[in-house]
Every structure is written in C-alpha cells, then in structure tokens.
Structure 1
Amino acid sequence: MSKSSALKKSSSSRRFATGPLGKGKAAKFAMVEGITTSAKSAKMLKTHADRGLKGDALRSAIAASFATQKGK
C-alpha cells in the first residue's frame, strides 16, 4: 500500500490554508516584534489609503514613493 502525502482537506474549508492578515493582526504582530512606524511612513500610508488604494495597488504606490525618493 503506497502512502499519499496529499492533504485530505480542501483549501476552500480554510482549515489548512491561511487567509490574509489584515491591518489589525498585522498591528498585533508589529507590537510583539517591537516594530514601530515613523511619522513620515505613517503619513505616506494614510495619504495613499485615503486615495482608496488597497492591497497590491497600495503596496505598489508605497514602493514607488520610496523609489522616487531614492532617485533624488
């Protein structure tokens, strides 16, 4: 009899698959790790979030703002 290493549960049950963390859980992880956000970074995040950016678009906008600052 061969052994199967495949998971028995589907990922749709989310039993074994992880979901997105979200801001609340990410903030809790940051507190545990002792990571703080500078005032400049917090302002930049708020500015982009107020424009309605979320997820990948928000990450891209933040990365682009760091890239333009570096090129000055």
Structure 2
Amino acid sequence: MIKKHYSLDLRERVIKYIKLGNTQNTTFKILKVSKNSVSGLRIRYQEAESIKAKPCLGRKGKINPEKLRVYVEGQ
C-alpha cells in the first residue's frame, strides 16, 4: 500500500479552520480530509507547531532492472 501525504496547502487550511474555532468533525467534512488526519494534524501542531508530513518508512521501491543486470554480471 502506498501512503500519500496531504499537500502542505491543505494541511495549512486544516489548521487555520480549526484555529477559527471549528470542530474537527466540521473540518473533516468541509475540507474532505479523513478524521484521523485532522486529529493527527491538530495534535502535531499543538505539540510541535509543525504540520510537515512524517517520513514514510515503508518498504523501498523495486530494483532497477539495469542495475540488477550490472550487479549480476559483476558477481
């Protein structure tokens, strides 16, 4: 499963919307963002004042076929 992050612009809009006094439920419905993302963004912003995406630590991409061929020939 590939995990994609919301854009920085959308993250800023979520935080601004919450700062204006709107609830998380209203925010996710209006901005069409998942409940967990709104909650996580709010908590991260309160704790660290950061809305940057966390790095994805999932599996690495596929091996480049050309690099694999060169490696195999070298062995």
TM-score range, shorter chain: 0.3 to 0.5
TM-score (norm 1): 0.33
TM-score (norm 2): 0.32
